[in-house]
Amino acid sequence: MAREQAWDPGQLPDLTGRTYLVTGSNRGLGYFASEQLARAGAGVLMTGRSPNRLMAARAALRRRLPDTAERVQTLLLDTSNLGSVRAAAATVAARGPLDGLLLNAGVVHPPKTRQTTGDGHELVFATNVLGHFALAGELLTSLAAASGRMVWLGSMSTSLWRYDPVDPQLMEDYTGWRAYVQSKVTTAALGLEADRRLRAAGVPVTSVVAHPGYSTSGRTPGIRGVNEPTRLGRFADNLQFAITQSKERGAWTLVRALVDPAIQGGEFWGPRFVTRGEPHRATASKITRDTAIAGRMWTFCEEATAVRWPFAKAAAAGVARR
């Protein structure tokens, strides 16, 4: 178990020589996680679906950290599009070992009515779950070659509402809230199930689940092209100051889950006071720890994405590295 008192979010370990990929890097948690990793010396692959927003985020990071120009790169990746996921994964895999994968991108404010992607999947589930399941599978060998780690983005919502994803694509009874919660239940369940399967297969990759608490844009530093809340937004978010925190602080937990060598696979991390605070080891909600649900959703994701994780190949890559 990681020693919580030994961790300083503002002074990370030296990450020089390591490379991390962060999905959804152009705004919010993904941007600040990328910035924190880069400040510690890591190479960062910032990914996003909008080329303009991605370049704006990269420019912002370089303004704030001028010495990172050679270590921070961008890559187009839309997790709602399986073709985009495959193309991006092929590009990353060709570069060699990957130390960490932060599966951060997602739809936080779902549409009021059900929408589908070009692949025919429900938008929220495709973006938050299927794209990340496929990406992690496609990059598993690259992670194994570096004895790396994957971090899945959980949510407090899974403890507030018990939505068993028996209809993951919400063919019936769609609501935006249900779509979001079901996607987060599935994400956390997959993250924990991944660790069980990786251990069983002897793959030297750890899988961790982390959530950022209640992190809002209105309490986050203004950064041109990245975080530009309105005055009304800042006012409304600051009214909740007792239970909220900035996205910069929310990223603390995600980054610790990704880089702290003392954290073990299968752990669940969040802010100390649930909605806010420094990184703290916690207990995942009961529904996300249900192995029957996790197994069912794993099979569903395999069929929906046509991606089977290459456990044997990844285990061999880990042996070769040793």
Specify whether the CB–CB gap between 208 and 100 falls below 8 A.
no
Half-sphere exposure of 204 (CA within 13 A, CB side): 16
Pairing mode, strands 245-246 and 215-216: parallel
Specify whether the CB–CB gap between 182 and 300 falls below 8 A.
no
176-201 vs 311-321: helix crossing angle, rounded to 10: 50
Which residues have a Cβ under 8 Å from the Cβ of 174 and sit 6 or more positions away? 113, 114, 122
Q: Is 225 left (phi over 0), alpha (psi -120 to 50) or beta?
A: left
The set of catalytic residues is 180
For residue 274, the SS3 value is coil
For residue 201, the SS3 value is helix
Could you tell me the CA-to-CA distances from 38 to 16, 121, 135, 228, 285 in Å, in that order? Answer: 9, 34, 22, 22, 32
